[in-house]
Structure 1
Amino acid sequence: MSGWQHFAPLPPIWPPDRFEVRSARPIPDGGAADRYHFSRTAHEAAARLREVGLATQVQVVRIEDGTALFDLVAGVEVPLEHW
């Protein structure tokens, strides 16, 4: 049974996060930030937060360079094809 254990770290099973969806909600809920790898999933999360209307601020930021791709308050909505 020797050799079946190895101590090298395993590669991650999920792809790295590329987008962060931030939302601010009235107190007591406060704010939240969720991370996504796929642009379509992050876009859908932001759209649903906007539709529900519970968040006072919704923002999607590309983690790599900090670019705001969606910002409800500032009126920024970059088309999904350019995310």
Structure 2
Amino acid sequence: MSGWQHSVPLPPVWPPDRFEVRSTRPIPDGGAADRYHLPRTAHEAATRLRDVRFATQIQVVRIEDGVTLFDLVAGVEVPLERW
């Protein structure tokens, strides 16, 4: 039975998260931060929150470099192609 166990860890099944969607919601929910790997999914989450007017503040930040790609209050909305 020797050789069936590996000393090297397996690579992660899921890709690393690349975007964080932060939102401030009315009390009692407070704030939330959700992470996404795909830019289209993060963009869709932010725009849906905006469209349903559920959150008072929405930001999308690229985790790698901290760049704000979407900010509801500041009026920042970088085109999806540049995410």
Shorter-chain TM-score: what band?
A: over 0.9
- Give the number of equivalent residue pairs: 83
Query: 1:2 corresponds to which letter in structure 2?
Result: S
Alignment of 1:1-83 (within 5 A): 1-83=1-83
Unaligned runs of 5+ in 1: none
Q: Once superposed, what is the RMSD of the aligned Cα atoms?
A: 0.9
1:27 counterpart SS class: coil
Q: TM-score, normalised by structure 2?
A: 0.94
Q: TM-score, normalised by structure 1?
A: 0.94
Identity %: 83
Q: Deviating runs (4+, > 4 A) in structure 1?
A: none
1:9 is displaced (CA, Å) by 1.3
Unaligned runs of 5+ in 2: none
